[in-house]
Each structure stands twice: as C-alpha cells, then as structure tokens.
Amino acid sequence: MIRKAKIQDIKKIQELINSFASKDLMLPRSLNELYENIRDFWVCEKNRKIAGCCALHVSWDNLAEIKSLAVTKSRHKQGVGRELVEVCLKEAKEIGAKRVFVLTYVQGFFRKFGFKRVKNTDLPHKIWAECINCCKFPNCQEVAMVKQL
C-alpha cells in the first residue's frame, strides 16, 4: 500500500534512510529535517511495516525534486521503488510541476522513468545551497538527472 507518511512513521523512515546512508548509498537525514518535511513523504507499507519511502519536494518555479528514495533490502526488486517514484511523478504533475529532478548514485534506475542526465549547472543555484552543509561537500559523486513532465 502506498500512502502519505504519518508523523508516527518518521523514526522508521529515518532508520531506513540512514541504514543506506551509513553505507554511502544516499545522504543521511536528521529527525528535524524529516519532521519539517513530512508532507513531502510517501511510504509503502507491507504487513504493517514501512517497506520504502520517497519524498517530492518543490524547489522552484515549475521544478520539483525526488528525494530520499529508499526501499528496505528484503523488498528490493519487487517494484516498491517503482511505485514510490510513480506516485511522486503523479503528484508532481497534479501540483503543476513541469520538471522533476533527482540527485542520485543510481542513474540506471532513474533512466527507466525517463530521467536524463544533465549538467549540475542546468539546475537553479538554490538547490546547491543545501549541499554546503552536507558532510560530502565538495566531493559528492551524485549525478543530476531531470525528467520533463
């Protein structure tokens, strides 16, 4: 079941994200960030457990970002990531976004949804402000990809 996240899900969402962040597969998120942005988040629930999460964050005029996509390891390759990305893309369209971007290490996964690699400079300066506070700055290997809706 795909649904919007609830406040009570946040600790599980953080555990899931940070389990991959500790292996350098994605960026960690603090509880504060997660609570403040809870309305961005979708979750996939299976047997009353959080099997995956994904956020859609509005960045700028016509532009939204897919963030914090994570699927619990035992549920990989079962379509959970696909469902989460698809619900975020649908929501992006509904709220009037014209482009969705992602900063990612898994280009092959996002290519399946029509995302194309772009130069970092093709995205507005605003989105890089967040990077300055990241532990990976300035040596981050994430790649920027964009999908036109």
Ligand X SMILES: CC(C)(COP(=O)(O)OP(=O)(O)OC[C@H]1O[C@@H](n2cnc3c(N)ncnc32)[C@H](O)[C@@H]1OP(=O)(O)O)[C@@H](O)C(=O)NCCC(=O)NCCS
Residue ranges in contact with ligand X by CB under 6 A: 20, 25-26, 69-71, 76-82, 102, 104-106, 108-109, 112
Output 96 or 134, the one with its CB closest to ligand X: 134
Minimum separation from the CB atom of position 98 to ligand X (A): 21
Minimum separation from the CB atom of position 55 to ligand X (A): 11
Output 61 or 118, the one with its CB closest to ligand X: 118
Task: Report the residue number whose CB is nearest to ligand X.
Answer: 81
The closest alpha carbon to 84, from 43, 45, 114, belongs to 43
Residue 128's φ and ψ, nearest 5 degrees, are -85, -10
Total count of residues recorded for the chain = 149
117 with 147: CB under 8 angstroms?
no
Output 8 or 74, the one with its CB closest to ligand X: 74
d(CA 99, CA 90): 12
The type of residue at 88 is C
Minimum separation from the CB atom of position 69 to ligand X (A): 4
Output 61 or 112, the one with its CB closest to ligand X: 112
Minimum separation from the CB atom of position 81 to ligand X (A): 2
- The residue ranges of DSSP E strands in the chain, in sequence order, are 2-4, 41-46, 49-60, 63-71, 99-104, 116-117, 143-148
